[in-house]
Structure 1
Amino acid sequence: MSAVGDAHQLSALHRDSSGWALLRSDNAPLTISLLGRHFGDGVRSLPAPELFDLLDADLEALRDDGYDLPRSGQGYCSDWVRAGFLLRRASAASREEFIEPTEGTFAAIAFVAGLTSPISTVTESRLTTLATQLANLARDTDPSVETRLARLQAERDEIDRQMAAVRSGDFPVVDGDRALERSHEILSLASEIPGDFARVRASFDELNRTLRARILDEDSDRSDTLGDVFRGVDLIGDSDAGRSFTAFYDTILDASRSAQIDDAIGAVLDRPFARRLSSAERRSLRALLSDMENAAAEVHDTMTSLSRSLRHFVQSRAYEEHRRLQQLIRTAQQHARGVAQVRRPYDVLDLELIRVGMSLESVAALKPHNPADDRVVDQVEIHEPGVADLAELRQLVRESEIDFHELTDNIVATLHTRGRASVGDVLADHEATQGLASVVGLLVLAVRHGHPTADFEAVQWTSTSGVRRRARIVRHVYDPTAEEFRR
């Protein structure tokens, strides 16, 4: 690309990028500090009330240090949403609104983090990663059978040599400094993951808007986009971004692959060099797999939701109403363009418009809110705590739960007396103090520590209201050798 093309491209990026806008804003240091503080270590979104409270506490500390920050956390969040630094998203699981940084904000935070802790040299681990990726790319794109077999043979010979060295005990072990360097390289790559997921989600949102606009702009019901949706084609899932993310999502959810990553993280954290990592670095490394799985699940839900919404938009024929409304708006704009040639906005027209909608009333008819209406003026009555009665507490517990301890004692007593006991035998020897609950508890213990027979038996008990009850149940015999009944 020529210098002119580069200049135009960067000028557009300078105008449209939220990350660039954040870096050149007046309060960029404070904004990046606050957002980077709460959207780090795998945190991609927060409930709006929780974020407001966190920011209010930070703003109070900054004001005490001399910073002029007159607005509240909620006010600054509203400004950042309007500026494109944050996004508001509704949650299907709760009524709370969630707030998350945009792709550009993640990029700005990562850029500033690179300035505060730059990589001063080309590390060995980075060169190793580069060489490995190049070798894999050369191998996987090679169409020649002979060269691929030769490369595989060389790899097998190298593996055999390494296995022989391990058997002899003569193999290198990465020392603390080099292992620490590789750990930092892994964490550096992991820090880019939130921005990657934000970029994927933004691409899905943009693709959804583009598809809807294409459906509205195409005139015929037999249009390609509309026809694909009617035929059940998942345009979002089948897009380049959708296929790429689906491949990643399937990989991260693969049980064997996840187990390998989890085992590798546990092994690394158990190594002696891991003690030299900071607590935040160890925490980030330990949560690496779960953070990727959670973030991938959120993006997958977004992709699925957008696909379903687009399909419903078409199959419910709601697009026809939107298309009709768009045509009416364009027709009105065309008429307005013609009228603008002969009329001015301030011209008085001899036209009476019929007003529809809500009626306008005087300000004096409005009733102002009086904060004193919510004030509590009644005297607060203080109740002194009393002394708990153990017997009363036990009675309350017995009214809400089955007394398995009492039932177990009754079973043990019947086994000692009869040598063999069923539910009916225990009820014959001991009263069902909790009524039907005692019968249910005896059956539960019989299922856990006994076995059913082919016979039936009649059981009787007195309910808590004093009514005599009868029932016919499968005969269950308790196992006298069960650990529960050994007393």
Structure 2
Amino acid sequence: MDLDTIVSLRDLSPAWKLLRADNAPLILSFLGKHFIEDNQGATPASVLIDALDDHLYTVRLSDPDAYAREPRAYLDDWADPARGWLRKFYPVDADEVHYDATPAVEKAYRWVESLQQRSFVGTESRLHTLLELLRQIVHGSETDPDARIAELQRRRDEIDLEIEAVLEGRAELLDETALRDRYQHFSSNARELISDFREVEENFRSLDRSAREQIAGWDGSKGELLDALVASRTDISSSDQGRSFQAFYDFLLSETQQTDLANLVAAVQAMPAVMADKRLRYIHHDWADAAERTQQTVRNLSEQLRRFLEDKAWIENRRVLDLVRTVEQAALRVRSNPPDLFLTIDLPGLPINLPFERPLHSSQPPARVDSLIAPAEVEPADYEALFSQRFIDTAALASNIRAVVPPRSRVDLAEILTLFPVEDGVAEILGYLSLSGEEIDVEMDDDQEMTMDYKDPAGTMRRVRLPHTTVARK
């Protein structure tokens, strides 16, 4: 990159602006934890404000004067188009504003994360990966049948030799260093894959936005606009990133591939030598959630096309549509360069109060009021019952379920409690059982029983017996 390109990135890149911001530590610590580490998608404003309020409370415990603004003010500032760190929008069929992190936050967070000193840096697995990629490129594009057959025979001979070594007890196992090397490579690529999804989603959203602008500013025939929209939809599907994303999405939808991937991740997590990250146990679920959000962006363009085709009153409502699109076109023109205008409205009239309209003063006889109340005997209050109450945060329990159970999947309640141990006794378990709603479904099988051990708030081990319970996300 030359000097002019770097200067342009410094002035225009939202990620660079974030790193230069005064409150960059607050932005990266909160948005990085919520949207990147926890892999949360678009979040309602009320939920995100409460989460930021809790985060600010924790920060202010050590420094009471730090970050004195209100949570909503911070979110509105971060969602300003001039900064581009949060996307503020209304989802379909929702009356509450939502926030979602932009790829700039992902880039800045990953760069700051890379600044940490690593105690172990593996290189062997990366070399093997590079060599395997080169083999796939060369042999995958080979058109000579004899050359491809020779390569397949070579690989078959290697497999035969490996089988023979295993049968004779001469198989070479990976040592702990090699295991940690490959696990570190897997962890890095797994997290980078989620980052790539956010950037692909932003690229698809740009294509979707251009299609919406084309609909808003179109003044030609309906057939020509239909041809243009179908071409835009085809461009998304046939682009390089569209084909690559669709191949990955089809892989995730395969039940066989999902089962194989889940078994491999579980087996690696159980190895003590790799010092596994607990969050990576369900990384394939995070991939599915991120891919579903990206796929939804592509569906939005198809939804725009469907609504356009269902416009039955095109001729009758043409005048209304022209007026609406005139307003949309004006909004698009001033979006990037809003006018500096102030609107002043005159009052319809001046209030007139005549002096003699006010009543004359009339004295009132003094009143004697005895406001003294005899003190009553106050019994000492018992506050023990008040302080012994414990609040079960059902929103946090639902968040635990979302972190473990992907959409349209089912997991035993015992597995969830293994990852998120009970802290508030049997009341917390009852809280999980009461979460059935539009998104979460809790089912109990009375024909089977399950037992779970937990510690009550006093630290005593308890055991609860209840019907076999499973939790599903719709």
Output the TM-score relative to the length of structure 1: 0.60
| 8 Å contact from structure 1 (residues 235, 307) kept in 2 | no
Match of residue 18 from structure 2: 22
Match of residue 74 from structure 1: 72
Instruction: Supply the distance in 2 between the matched residues of 1:27 and 1:231 (Cα, whole angstroms).
Output: 43
Matches within 5 A, 1:189-200: 189-200=189-200
Instruction: Supply the distance in 2 between the matched residues of 1:209 and 1:25 (Cα, whole angstroms).
Output: 28
Instruction: Supply the distance in 2 between the matched residues of 1:40 and 1:124 (Cα, whole angstroms).
Output: 28
Query: CA 1:174 to 1:89, structure 2 compared with 1: closer, same or farther past 3 Å?
Result: farther
**Alignment pair present for 1:295 and 2:274:** no
- The structure with the larger Rg is 1
Match of residue 159 from structure 1: 159
Match of residue 168 from structure 1: 168
Query: CA 1:327 to 1:179, structure 2 compared with 1: closer, same or farther past 3 Å?
Result: closer
Match of residue 48 from structure 1: 45
> Secondary structure, in 3 states, of the residue corresponding to 2:37?
coil
Instruction: Supply the distance in 1 between the matched residues of 2:345 and 2:301 (Cα, whole angstroms).
Output: 35
Matches within 5 A, 1:197-276: 197-214=197-214, 220-221=220-221, 226-229=226-229, 236-274=236-274, 276=275
Write the deviation string for residues 35-56 of structure 1: whole angstroms up to 9, x where unpaired.
2232343423333322222222
Moved more, 23-32 or 36-45: 36-45
Match of residue 306 from structure 1: 301
Moved more, 31-40 or 168-177: 31-40
> Secondary structure, in 3 states, of the residue corresponding to 1:192?
helix
Q: Name the structure with the higher helix share.
A: 1
Query: CA 1:77 to 1:222, structure 2 compared with 1: closer, same or farther past 3 Å?
Result: closer
| 8 Å contact from structure 1 (residues 236, 307) kept in 2 | no
Query: CA 1:49 to 1:362, structure 2 compared with 1: closer, same or farther past 3 Å?
Result: farther
Match of residue 134 from structure 1: 134
Structure 2 counterpart of 1:109, one-letter code: Y
How far apart are 1:90 and its partner, in Å? 3.4
> Secondary structure, in 3 states, of the residue corresponding to 1:208?
helix
Query: CA 1:203 to 1:40, structure 2 compared with 1: closer, same or farther past 3 Å?
Result: closer
Instruction: Supply the distance in 2 between the matched residues of 1:186 and 1:158 (Cα, whole angstroms).
Output: 25
Write the deviation string for residues 73-94 of structure 1: whole angstroms up to 9, x where unpaired.
2221111111211123434576
Structure 2 counterpart of 1:288, one-letter code: I
| 8 Å contact from structure 1 (residues 23, 108) kept in 2 | yes
Match of residue 182 from structure 1: 182
Moved more, 301-310 or 222-231: 222-231
Match of residue 464 from structure 1: none
How far apart are 1:109 and its partner, in Å? 0.3
Instruction: Supply the distance in 2 between the matched residues of 1:12 and 1:269 (Cα, whole angstroms).
Output: 44
| 8 Å contact from structure 1 (residues 229, 311) kept in 2 | no
Matches within 5 A, 1:104-119: 104-118=104-118
Instruction: Supply the distance in 2 between the matched residues of 1:44 and 1:136 (Cα, whole angstroms).
Output: 34
**Alignment pair present for 1:39 and 2:35:** yes
Query: CA 1:329 to 1:39, structure 2 compared with 1: closer, same or farther past 3 Å?
Result: closer
Write the deviation string for residues 440-473 of structure 1: whole angstroms up to 9, x where unpaired.
xxxxxxxx9xxxxxxxxxxxxxxxxxxxxxxxxx
| 8 Å contact from structure 2 (residues 89, 99) kept in 1 | yes
Matches within 5 A, 1:77-92: 77-82=75-80, 83-92=83-92
Structure 1 counterpart of 2:61, one-letter code: D
How far apart are 1:103 and its partner, in Å? 0.4
Match of residue 64 from structure 1: 61
How far apart are 1:308 and its partner, in Å? 0.9
Match of residue 356 from structure 2: none
Query: CA 1:40 to 1:211, structure 2 compared with 1: closer, same or farther past 3 Å?
Result: closer
Instruction: Supply the distance in 1 between the matched residues of 2:61 and 2:328 (Cα, whole angstroms).
Output: 57
Structure 1 counterpart of 2:174, one-letter code: V
Write the deviation string for residues 154-189 of structure 1: whole angstroms up to 9, x where unpaired.
111111111111111211111222212211211111
Instruction: Supply the distance in 1 between the matched residues of 2:183 and 2:231 (Cα, whole angstroms).
Output: 49
Matches within 5 A, 1:440-451: none
Structure 1 counterpart of 2:283, one-letter code: L
Instruction: Supply the distance in 2 between the matched residues of 1:362 and 1:168 (Cα, whole angstroms).
Output: 104
Identity %: 30
Instruction: Supply the distance in 2 between the matched residues of 1:183 and 1:363 (Cα, whole angstroms).
Output: 78
| 8 Å contact from structure 1 (residues 234, 307) kept in 2 | no
Query: CA 1:118 to 1:362, structure 2 compared with 1: closer, same or farther past 3 Å?
Result: farther
| 8 Å contact from structure 1 (residues 22, 85) kept in 2 | yes
Structure 2 counterpart of 1:44, one-letter code: Q
How far apart are 1:21 and its partner, in Å? 1.1
Instruction: Supply the distance in 2 between the matched residues of 1:225 and 1:119 (Cα, whole angstroms).
Output: 58
Structure 2: gaps (5+ residues): 335-340, 352-446, 448-474
Query: CA 1:249 to 1:359, structure 2 compared with 1: closer, same or farther past 3 Å?
Result: farther
> Secondary structure, in 3 states, of the residue corresponding to 2:79?
helix
Query: CA 1:268 to 1:233, structure 2 compared with 1: closer, same or farther past 3 Å?
Result: closer
Structure 1: gaps (5+ residues): 334-344, 346-354, 365-447, 449-487
Query: CA 1:109 to 1:231, structure 2 compared with 1: closer, same or farther past 3 Å?
Result: closer
Match of residue 148 from structure 2: 148
Structure 2 counterpart of 1:86, one-letter code: L
How far apart are 1:122 and its partner, in Å? 5.6
Moved more, 265-274 or 79-88: 265-274
